Homo-oligomer: A and B are copies of this chain.
Amino acid sequence: MINVCIVGATGYTGGELVKILIKHPKVKISSLYAKLDKQPVYIDDEFPSLKGKIHLPCYNFNPAKIPAGAEVAFLAVPHTVAMDLAPLFIQKRIKVIDLSADFRLRDTRVYQNWYHKKHNQPHLLKQAVYGLPELNSSRIRKANLIANPGCFPTGTILGVVPVIGNTTGSILVNATTGTSGAGKKASLALLFSECSDNMRPYKVFQHQHQPEIEQELSAVAGKKITVRFVPALAPLTRGILTTIFMKLNKTITPSNIIKQYRKFYRKSPFVTVLPYGSFPQLKDILKTNNCHIGLKMAGKDLVVVTAIDNLQKGAAGQAVENMNIMFGLPREMGLT
């Protein structure tokens, strides 16, 4: 049994991690931490749907009390917080899967630009592996520190990467997300009264996930890739529908483009490429770790639509997938 700690267990992502891991046949959750006014808080009081399944206290994180025997820590904390926590685990030889953005951007200047704080672990950053298993599974296997991808980057990169070598010009992305993506925080903008019957774009061309997408796509393409990223909020709790427009450098037949995508994902248990001209809908992938991809061409214009659950493939599910790989388990374990 893998001995697991979770830091940030009471947020939406942390709660999702708990829900997945209590069903995982090879995991034992040993400690839960959260930022609490009053401690302990029992996790099944925080998430009553867990009643009868797990009854474990959450405490404020205290590095002195990291349990002996812990093998992996999930950090489901806000960005700029995780970089202070990761080394505390790493130095005890506990693997870290960081669900924040702190170890995703390899260039510390880019990090500081977008997250407004100087990165204080540049050495650790060099060891971090970007945890998108469809791209990096062999490096994930050997990693001690995983930068678990952002929700929007997951939905976007999976839609683009099989044809990244064929694209020309900017990659144009319109991604619509549910409200849980913003985390469990009291905010006027996230009230039911504000979000119901409403849709709004936000952080247009300014979302912190844009450089993350560009970094990963550029690395695969071997050239600088420019992404124009327009996120929007819809009256959904979960799910991201990502619509991607690309210009290809040649026309490709429907059957060939489908082949290209399916070949790329032939070993990816969680990615399904739909038949040409069929498009995904959120309800088919909600509460799963799956990514469904639909695509269609018109001339050299390609549109790709991907659907993921932001708390699963976009966060906690993918984190567990990374853990499975790091510990030599089947990638799907606990996730289907």
A residues within 8 Å of B by Cβ?
A: 12, 48-49, 51-53, 169-170, 172, 174, 176, 178-180, 184-188, 190-202, 204-205, 226, 228, 230, 232, 234-239, 241, 243, 245, 247, 272, 277, 279-286, 288, 292, 294, 296, 298-299, 301, 303, 305, 307, 336
Contacts and interface: CB of A to CB of B under 8 A. Distances in A.
A234 B234 CA distance: 7
Nearest to A272: B51
Pick from A52, A170, A283 the residue with the most CB of B within 10 Å. Answer: A283
A198 B282 CA distance: 5
A279 B53 CA distance: 20
A245 B172 contact: yes
Given A49-B288, A174-B245, A186-B188, 19 more contacts: A53-B336, A172-B172, A176-B232, A179-B191, A179-B192, A185-B188, A192-B235, A194-B283, A197-B237, A197-B239, A197-B283, A200-B281, A201-B279, A204-B305, A228-B298, A230-B243, A234-B236, A235-B236, A245-B245
Complex copy number for this chain: 4
Main secondary structure of the interface of A (DSSP, over half): mixed
Q: Which of the listed residues A174, A176, A192 has the most CB atoms from chain B within 10 Å of its own CB?
A: A192
B245 A199 contact: no
A12 B232 contact: no
A253 to B, nearest CB: 16
A234 B235 contact: yes
A184 B188 CA distance: 7
Contacts of A299: 170, 226
A301 B170 contact: yes
Nearest to A297: B205
Nearest to A177: B199
Given A49-B283, A230-B243, A191 B198 contact: no
Contacts of A277: 204
B49 A243 contact: no
B191 A193 contact: no
B286 A197 contact: yes
Contacts of A51: 272, 284
A8 B191 CA distance: 19
Nearest to A188: B186
A196 B180 CA distance: 11
Contact of A201 (B52, B179, B243): B243
B199 A230 contact: no
Contacts of A197: 196-197, 236-239, 282-283, 286
A95 B194 CA distance: 33
A192 B196 contact: yes
A296 B237 CA distance: 28
Contacts of A245: 172, 174, 228, 245
